[in-house]
Structure formats: C-alpha cells, structure tokens
Amino acid sequence: MKKGYRMKTVYRFHWRSVSYVFGVLFSMAADATPVAVDAVEAEGIDPDRLRRLDTLVDTYITERRVPGMTVLISRNGKIVYEANQGVMGLDNPAPIAADTIYRIYSMTKAVTAVAALILYEEGRFHLYDPVAKYLPEFADMQIWQDGQLQPAKRPITMHQLFTHTAGLSYGFRGDHPLRSSFDALALEKSPNLAEFTRRLAKLPLVFEPGTAWGYSYASEVLGAVVAKLSGQSLEAFLQARLFKPLNMRDTSFELVKNAQSRLASSHIWHDAQAGMTLTPAAPQNPGYRLKPYDSGGMGLFSTARDYLNFLEMLRAEGRFGEQQILSPKTVKFMTKDHLPRRITDANIGPDHDPVLGLGGGHGLGIGVYIDPVRRGVLSSVGENNWGGVSGTVYWLDTTEELVVVAMVQLFNSPWRLRDDLSVGIYQALSKVYE
C-alpha cells in the first residue's frame, strides 16, 4: 500500500506579471522561491528540461491564448512544479495566485463518484441495482429511437450512472423534434436537486441503457442518489466526508462572500475574431452558485491545490494523511476501464467521440486512457483524466506517480492544453517507472 499523502513542495514558482524574460526568471520573479534542484532530481525529473514548461506557460499568456493560468504538478506526493501566471481576467488585472478559485465544471464528476463509492463501501447500494430503487421517477423510462418513443427494455443501473452508459443525455437542442419539450422542463432552473431529477426523468433516453457511451446528466443523478441515501444535501455530504478530510477549504457549490474576489473571470474564445471576450458565466444564481441545485456533474468551484489534494488521495490508494477515504481495492476498481470492448474498440479514427477521446475508456466517474499509442500523445496506460468545459484539465498517472492540475477559464478553447502539458511534463522525466 502506498503511504498516505502528505504534500511537500520541492519546486515552486509564482509569477506576478503577465510575462517575463526567461533568462532572468530567478532574479525577477518577485514571488519565486528557490528551486531545490537536488530534490527535483531525486524525484526522477530533469530540472533543465522541466523549465520547458516555463516557456509553454509563458506562451499561453503572451500570445493571449488565456489571460491567466495555474499549473500544479506533483510526483511521488511532492510538488515539483507550480506556476501561477497572468491575470484574473480581461476585466481584472489582479495577478493569478495559488489560491485563485476556478469554475471546474465537469471535474466535479470524479468528486461525486468518490462520494457515491463511500456509500457503496458502506453497503448502501450495489452497482447492478436499478436507479429507480432509490429514485422512483426513473422507473419505466422511454427511449427516443428512429423518430419515435418506445419503452426501454431494461432499467438504468447505478453502474451506468458512473460510466455514462445509462442512455441519459444533456437534452435535445437545435431542430430536434423534442427540443420544445426539453426547453419547457427548464432543467437548469430547477430549485433543488430532487426537482432536477424529477424533471430529467421526463426526458426520454437516447439509447438502450448499457449499449453505448453518451456524456450526460448521469453524474447529477448519481449525486441525487448520494443525497437520498445519506439523508443530507450533496453539499453537506461532500463537506463532511471529502472536503474537510482532504483539506479542500475552497471547494464548494456556493462561494462565500469573502472568497468571491478570488474567483477568476470567465471568457469565451471566438474563432472568427481569433480572440476572447468576457462571458456572463459568472454565477447568476442566488447565493453565488453555478447552478441553483447541487450539481454533481458540473457545479463545483475549486482551486488547483484543493483538487490536487483530491487526486493525491486517489494516487495514494484512498489515503490522505492518517485517513482512509476509500479502500485501495475500491480505488483500483474505480480507476479501471469499465466500458465494453465493443465501445472502446470503435472509438478510433475521425469518427471517434471527442469527449471520450482517442484511446479513451471510462472508469467509475473518471476517464481512463487505455491506449496511449492510439491517443498519439506521451502518456501512460491507465492514466486517469478529465476536464471542465471552461478549459480546466487534470490527470493522474499511477504508473509514473504523477498528478497534474491545470486551471484556466476559457470556453470554446481551441488550444490542446492537456496535450501540450503532457509533452512538456513527460519529456522532463529522467527516470520512468513504466
């Protein structure tokens, strides 16, 4: 068993300005701490090659790809690189800092999955249980197939919520025949999570449960099951069972007033103008929330350091300090690919699912790269990963004992940030464990 995670920083930078001259970084970075070169080398990393990440981060800022960003990397439980560069937004010249708060959107999904697995370990449900056992509104679902509604042949299971194989969707848009029905439900304006699932259950499925992979509101439903079984709100459960034990002090569905000034501004990229503008994605709901309800799929605010703690718990096989959040066996089970081969084998070529990714599979609430060669980017078999719609990304590589968190706030980003970081990080490894 790996030792419980205890963070140690061995290589850390903070940038106050938007750009800098690489050759004089160490003398000009007013908030930089000395680089412990020996310590970085001890973790199997070449310090000179690692500095190529400085150039990468600087390029993103100086070429105005993003206003600001945070990159945080650990190996063997020790922080080996931290960059906080640029500014909070086009409307906010304050510098990005280590405690800057970001909207992490779909990075919420893995957190909700761990919450559910805590209850699974307590014997509160089985993965093959029908969801309707806990949320009766999901009984007798219908499927939209071949232009008509027909009864589903099988029920949605708990396992299918974790793996996005339930047949749920993100609704019907464009000129779809059910567009008006979807709009009338006003899902995103549901006042609470229970009402959200009641409305969602009125939408037909888009495929027979268990027969395909489709990104969806499944994590919201999973969060509703957590709330139902625990007798708490999802927020209360996460705070008590995850955020407090993991010292995730800035992670929540609602920003308290004294934290709002640390929230990075939200932006959107416009291809036609080859530039970005501010977007009204700042919380519009009462209580300074992303959603009115506790959205287990896309509702959390967090910091890079908070999320690193969460991922380090998974890297350490469920342990954080002296606390065992999940058993090592459960973490190993969660982080394996759970998709049938007929799904992952078909996920190749120009018609691959861009969300699942080339060479990608899916575990219990978390992505799994099962074929780095098919992916075409430096990585490891079994790397766990995901991201958020506003450009945030993370991955956990237990082969190389690496954890990476990168935070930006840019919708419709044309940049391959995850791939850029993958090359920058893996090329710096002087020792590999593969």
How does pLDDT run across 118-163, given as a tens digit for each residue? 999 999 999 999 999 999 999 999 999 888 999 999 999 999 999 9
Helices 218-230 + 193-200 axis angle, to 10? 130
The pLDDT tens digits of the residues spanning 76-103 come to 999 999 999 999 999 999 999 999 999 9
pLDDT value for 354: 80
pTM for this entry: 0.91
Could you identify the residue written with the tokens 């593969």?
Answer: 434
The pLDDT tens digits of the residues spanning 372-416 come to 888 889 999 999 999 999 999 999 999 999 999 999 999 999 999
- Mean pLDDT on 275-290: 79
Q: Rounded distance, CA 423 to CA 403, Å?
A: 14
- Mean pLDDT on 255-265: 93
Query: ∠ at Cα 301 (192, 281), nearest 5°?
Result: 80
In degrees and rounded to multiples of 5, residue 117 shows phi and psi of -70, -25
| Mean pLDDT (the chain, rounded) | 89
The pLDDT tens digits of the residues spanning 16-62 come to 333 322 222 222 222 333 346 777 899 999 999 999 999 999 999 99
DSSP for 102-159, written as a single string = EE-GGGHHHHHHHHHHHHHHTTS--TTSBGGGT-GGGSS-EEEETTEEEE-SS--BHH
Could you identify the residue written with the tokens 């954080």?
Answer: 320
Position 69 pLDDT exceeds 80 = yes
pLDDT value for 1: 44
pLDDT value for 10: 42
Q: Rounded distance, CA 366 to CA 303, Å?
A: 19
pLDDT value for 357: 80
Nearest to 409, CA basis, from 251, 257, 263: 263
Q: Rounded distance, CA 312 to CA 304, Å?
A: 12
In degrees and rounded to multiples of 5, residue 131 shows phi and psi of -60, -30
pLDDT value for 280: 75
pLDDT value for 5: 52
The pLDDT tens digits of the residues spanning 225-259 come to 999 999 999 999 999 999 999 999 999 999 988 99
The pLDDT tens digits of the residues spanning 316-328 come to 999 999 999 999 9
Q: Residues 6 or more apart from 123 whose CB is under 8 A from it?
A: none
Position 202 pLDDT exceeds 60 = yes
pLDDT value for 24: 23
Q: Rounded distance, CA 196 to CA 408, Å?
A: 29
The pLDDT tens digits of the residues spanning 354-376 come to 888 888 899 999 999 988 888 88
Q: Rounded distance, CA 162 to CA 177, Å?
A: 28
CA–CA distances in Å: residue 111 to residues 44, 176, 241, 409: 30, 32, 11, 20
Tell me if 50 sits within 8 A of 71, measured CB to CB. no
The strand ranges marked E within 3-91 are 8-9, 68-75, 78-89
Q: Rounded distance, CA 110 to CA 4, Å?
A: 20
Pairing relationship of beta strands 78-89 and 8-9 according to DSSP bridges: parallel
Q: Rounded distance, CA 2 to CA 4, Å?
A: 7
In this structure, of 60-69, 195-204, 271-280, the range with the lowest mean pLDDT score is 271-280
pLDDT band at 348 (very low <50, low <70, confident <90, very high): low
pLDDT value for 372: 87
| DSSP reduced 3-state for 208 | coil
In single-letter form, the type of residue at position 31 comes to: D
Domain limits of the chain?
A: 114-235
pLDDT value for 11: 39
In single-letter form, the type of residue at position 311 comes to: L
Facing residues of 101 across strands?
A: 263
Instruction: Assign a CATH topology to domain 114-235.
Output: Beta-lactamase (3.40.710)
